[in-house]
Amino acid sequence: MLTRMAILLVLLLTSPLLAEPEVMLSAKLEPERAALTSALEAANQRLACFADAHHWGGLVQEPFYDRVEFFDQKAAFDDRLRELTGTTAEIPATFVAALEQRVLVAVSPRLYASLVPANDEPEAFEKLL
């Protein structure tokens, strides 16, 4: 019986529904990995609470991204977004996050604050994500 329970636990923990997304950072952002991961978790929790409050909880049961990429340079963010969207269009300076092809891309909190100072408020980065 314990073996079956152990197998079930392994299957549940390796389920795509519970799998953590891959988080990609530049070397410069690596020291901020824990803070960025915490912001991402808080954003997911915020979304889940909002969905539950509006009876949309079923729509956020499964993850909608497999990978998260944070950028410390706007040009690198823009290049990656163009790659994901297959466009050559100019990206506005205040365009700082996107979800494309199940990849969540965003600039770092510091870069976000400098590019969009009007959004300086508590949990601004969490709300962006």
Using CA of residue 110, residue 111, residue 114, residue 120, what is the dihedral sign? negative
Contact in structure between 98 and 89 (CB atoms under 8 Å): no
| Inside any domain, residue 12 | no
Is position 10 within any domain? Answer: no
| Mean of all residue pLDDT scores within the chain | 87
Decide if 88 is inside a domain: yes
- Position 13 pLDDT exceeds 60: no
Asked if pLDDT for residue 4 goes beyond 70, the answer is no
Which residue range forms the structural domain that includes residue 26? Answer: 21-128
66 domain-assigned: yes
CA 97 remoteness from chain centre: 9
pLDDT at 11: 47
Asked if 125 contacts 112 with a C-beta cutoff of 8 angstroms, the reply is: yes
Question: Model confidence over 39-77: pLDDT tens digits?
Answer: 999 999 999 998 889 998 888 888 889 999 999 999 999
Sign of the CA dihedral running 71, 73, 74, 78: negative
Q: How many domains does the chain have?
A: 1
More confident residue, 6 or 94: 94
Q: Contact at 8 Å (CB) between 29 and 112?
A: no
Share of the chain above pLDDT 70, in %: 85
| Tens-digit pLDDT profile for residues 16-29 | 444 678 999 989 99
> Residue 2 falls within a domain, yes or no?
no
